[in-house]
Structures are given as structure tokens and as C-alpha cells.
Structure 1
Amino acid sequence: MKKYFLLASTLLLFAACQNNDENSQNSSTKEKTVETSQTNADSQQTSETISNDNQVNKSQNQTSDNIAMTELQAHYPRERFPMITSVDPTEEIAIAVGEEENTLTVSYYLVDKQIPLNDPLLSNATPIGQFQRILHNTTEEAKNDVAPNTDAGGQAIDLGHNIIGHQQSGAGSTYLNWQEGNWSMAIQANNLEGEDPQPLAKEIVEYLEKAFLPAPKDVGSGSFMINSSDYHSNVVAWQEGTTVYKISNENTMNSLKMAVSMNQ
């Protein structure tokens, strides 16, 4: 009888120890679960903070602390505009804006220091770039306004990245055009000046491998001239329904950068 009593006592003691171990393990598991949940919550909060910071930075980069750009966005809070730094990243830029019929026009100027939007000092100045938002009555009108270049005649030119351009000469100029998705691109070179359109075309193709233009609804076009100081000579245009956006800059690559900035 005494043996049975000792055996029962031993079993009860073993069971108690096992329960204590299980409770300890469960407590440890709960603590780890709480820690993991807290870590995940902290990680999510950090991600949200980073995302919010990125949005703030993006907004700050859009204005780039430019007085005129800040005023422009305040006047037209629902409009998209090129980033001010894309107009010319090395210079101070002033802005004038105007509306006539169905066209909103924003002109950009080089200045020595920042001045307010539509400052009278700009009245006799020549823009280095321009942005336009044009509203048409029909989609066909908008598509025709973009006027894409799609001539596939002439000599085939390898521009890299599996893009083939087509080059032909006439009336003292050489024309090189190519297609990139819904975008058609064309460069005009002056034969009398000995200009060659191929280096610029290859530079554009290389740039657009890493930078993305806005996606046009149907058509988009880029029309460029070599060594021109007139901002009308480099125009990027695209159509979204009945709306056409046009960007121009005296520098070919800056005209593209202005357009790319509207896709960011």
C-alpha cells in the first residue's frame, strides 16, 4: 500500500512539473506573438511614414520652392504641370500663365532671381519653354492637333534597343523619324550646316529606355530640330480624349524631361 502511495505521489509531482513547463512555454509563445505583432505594427507604421514622406517630398520637388510655381498650382489646383526643375535644372525659372478660349498656356523664362507669377518684368521677355493644355470639341480634332510623324520611307537606321528609324533628305534638310509605341518621333537636321540627326535620335532612344513619357490615349508625337535656340523647335505633344497637352523647350532633351515629369 505504501508503494502505491509513493508511486501516485511521484506521478502527481511529474504531472505538475509538466504543466508548469507547458504554461511557461505557452507564456513564452504568447510573449513572442505579442513581440512579433508589435514588430509588424512598427514596420507597417514605418512604411506608412516613409510613404507619406515620399509624397511630401514629391510635392516639394514639384514646386522646388519656386514662388511662381507655388502660385500657379494654387490658381490651378486640379491641373498637371511639368516639374519646374525639368524646364532647366541649372537656371532660375520665372512663370507667366494665361488663358484664351480653350487653351491654357504656361510660359517659362530664365531670370536672375525668383519673381512672382505673371510679373510685369516678363512682358517683353522670350520664353525658353512652354506648356499648353488645349481642349477640343472631338477626339479626331485632338488627334489631328498632335499630328504624328509616321513616314516609313527612306534609309533604315538602327537606333538601338530594337528601334529602327527611317531617314530621308529633301529641300536642304535630313529627316529621321521612328515609332515608340503610340509615340512617333521626328528630327530635322540642316544639311547646309552639316547636321546629322542620328546622334540625337540615339540619345533620345537611350533616354526613353529609362524614362517614361505619359501614355497617350491614341497618339503622341515629338518633333525636334538640331542646334535651334527657338523653343518652338522642340515640341512634345500627346492626346488624352479631347484634350491635347503640348510641351516645348529650346533644348530637345529638356522638352522630353518636361513631358516625362508629368508622368511621375
Structure 2
Amino acid sequence: MKNKKVFLPAFMTLAVLAGCSMNNNATEQQASSASSQLSSQETASQSSQSESSIEEKSSSEMTSQSSDSAAENPGEQATDLTQQEVLEAIGNELYTDAPIKLPKQLPMKEGKHLSATTSSKSGMYAIVFYESDEPIPINNQQLTDGTSSAEQIARLTVQQYPSQKEADEQIAYQTFSEQGGQEVDLGYDITGYQDAGAGSVYTGWNEGQWALASHARTENSEQGVALAKEAVEFLENNLLPIPDPHGFAHLDVEQGDNRILWQDEMTVYTIDQVVNPIDALMIAVAFD
């Protein structure tokens, strides 16, 4: 009986020790597992931060490269506009109290782009139209410094005068039938009157409130008549602006002095610096 009493406590002690050992092992395993999970999370976080840093760096480099590319290629920002859009933009560059009127279109070579230089002040404005291979902004120095393909098309000048008399004096209007000269049939029931002198020959005629004349050298008088007939035929299907009161067109076979002028009371519109005389007429008929 005494031996039995001694044995039971010893067994219980072993059981308790075994239990403690198992608990300690379980705690260590849990701690080890938790540590492993924490380490895995830290590794994943570091990996994510690293990937984010790489992405940010890559994005920054791409932005920088894009900015450098834009700086090296500013021409890529040029906009290809229609004639109508360019003409509207030209009108917005004029600062004047004179009435602003522009042609609806200009004669241009195929594939060319329209631009212009402008100047304006109270009572007047002037526009020089250009065409070029590539779009050039309005009033850009490339139009005049010879560094581009820009070629002049024409010049438009609009001037207000203080009196009707001064405006009338700008228009060399005359009734050719009253001036005499050799009659020439220009077609379409229009008679021209030819007058020669000082090495030149002029063929003049009237259409409505307009006086028109072609100019040629004496030795090329037939070319003067041919140009007059070509102009008459063109104007059969195209209407010049209605002047108030008069208009005048000087068409030059030699292409050195093509001028078209007309009045709107005390305001005078002038188209000049056009190489081809028919082109000058095309610009004039493009006004409202």
C-alpha cells in the first residue's frame, strides 16, 4: 500500500512534465509559424515596393524622353488648317476700325498651305498672303526671312479716306467709249477700245460700274487683246464686287503691275502684287 501511494505522484509528475513539454513545443511551432508568415509578408511588401519604384522610375524616364522629343521636334505641333480656317485666323489678327472683308479663297498650287503677314491700325489694314510646302503660322518670320518655301500670292490693302472725293481719286475710272480709240471686239457683246503710246498699248472696256484695261508692250499688242478677251470670258461666269460707286482693274501682260481697286463709299479695297492677272481677278470675285 505504501508503494502504491509513492508511485501515483511520480506518474502524475511525469504526465505534467510531458504536458508542459508538448505545450512548449506547440508554442515554439506557433511562434515559428508566425515569424515565417511575418517574414513572407515583409518580403512581399518589399517586392511590391520595389516593383512600384521601378514603375515610377520607368514612367518618369518615359515622360522625360517624351518631353525631350517634343523639344527636339517642335514642328510636330504645327496644325494643318483649311483655307477658310486660316482666313478666319487672319481676320482675328487685324486691329482696326476699318470694315474687315477678306476673300473666301485664294488661287493656290495643289498641296500648298496658306499663311499671311498682317499690319493694321485705325482706318486701314494690309495683308500679304503666302503659300508654302509646310504649314507656317501667321506673322511668322519664316514667311519673310527666306528660310522657308513660302511664296507670295497677293497683297490686300484696305484704306478709309476722310472724304468721298479723296476715295474717288484713288480709282482711275473712265468711260472708254468716250475716250475714243480703235474698237476691238472682245466677245460677249463687249467692245474694247485700244490706245497706244510710249511703247505701250492699252485695251480698255467697261462692265457695269467697272473700268478694266489690259496692258502690253507695243510689239505684243495682240497679247493685250488676248488677255482682255480672256478676262471678259472669265467675268461672264464670275462677278466682281459691286462698287460704290466705281471699280478699276489694270491687267498686265508683262505681269509686273496687276491691280484691282474698288470703292465702298470712302473705303477703298486694293489687290496688287499678283503675278498672274487672271489670279488677281479670281481673288477679287471671291469677295462677297
Matched with 1:246 is 270
- Please tell me whether the aligned partners of residues 149 and 185 of structure 1 are also in contact (alpha carbons under 8 angstroms): no
Distance 1:187 1:194, change over 3 A: closer
Return the match for 1:88 from 102, 105, 108.
Answer: 108
User: Secondary structure of the residue that 1:146 maps to in structure 2?
Assistant: coil
Instruction: Quote the offset at 1:227 in angstroms.
Output: 3.4
Instruction: Quote the offset at 1:99 in angstroms.
Output: 1.9
Distance 2:247 2:262 in 1: 4
Residue 146 (1) aligns with residue 171 (2): yes
Amino acid in the other structure paired with 2:267: T
What is the percentage of aligned positions where both structures have the same residue? 28
Task: Give ranges in structure 2 of 5+ residues lacking alignment.
Answer: 1-80
Matched with 1:71 is 89
Matched with 1:22 is none
Matched with 1:198 is 225
**TM-score w.r.t. structure 2 length?**
0.62
Instruction: Quote the offset at 1:254 in angstroms.
Output: 1.0
Matched with 1:223 is 250
Distance 1:246 1:145, change over 3 A: same
Matched with 1:178 is 205
Distance 1:139 1:194, change over 3 A: closer
Distance 1:80 1:128, change over 3 A: same
Q: Structure 1, residues 31-64: CA drift from partner, whole Å, max 9, x if none?
A: xxxxxxxxxxxxxxxxxxxxxxxxxxxxxxxx83
Distance 1:124 1:144, change over 3 A: farther
- Please tell me whether the aligned partners of residues 149 and 177 of structure 1 are also in contact (alpha carbons under 8 angstroms): no
Instruction: Quote the offset at 1:195 in angstroms.
Output: 5.5
Which structure has more RCO (C-alpha within 8 Å, separation ≥ 6)? 1
**TM-score w.r.t. structure 1 length?**
0.68
Matched with 2:156 is 131
Task: Give ranges in structure 1 of 5+ residues lacking alignment.
Answer: 1-62
Residue 214 (1) aligns with residue 241 (2): yes
Instruction: Quote the offset at 1:149 in angstroms.
Output: 4.3
- Please tell me whether the aligned partners of residues 238 and 246 of structure 1 are also in contact (alpha carbons under 8 angstroms): yes
- Please tell me whether the aligned partners of residues 68 and 115 of structure 1 are also in contact (alpha carbons under 8 angstroms): no
- Please tell me whether the aligned partners of residues 169 and 175 of structure 1 are also in contact (alpha carbons under 8 angstroms): yes
- Please tell me whether the aligned partners of residues 81 and 262 of structure 1 are also in contact (alpha carbons under 8 angstroms): yes
Greater displacement, 214-223 / 138-147? 138-147
Instruction: Quote the offset at 1:251 in angstroms.
Output: 1.1
Greater displacement, 233-242 / 68-77? 68-77
Amino acid in the other structure paired with 1:134: Q
Matched with 1:103 is 124
RMSD: 2.3
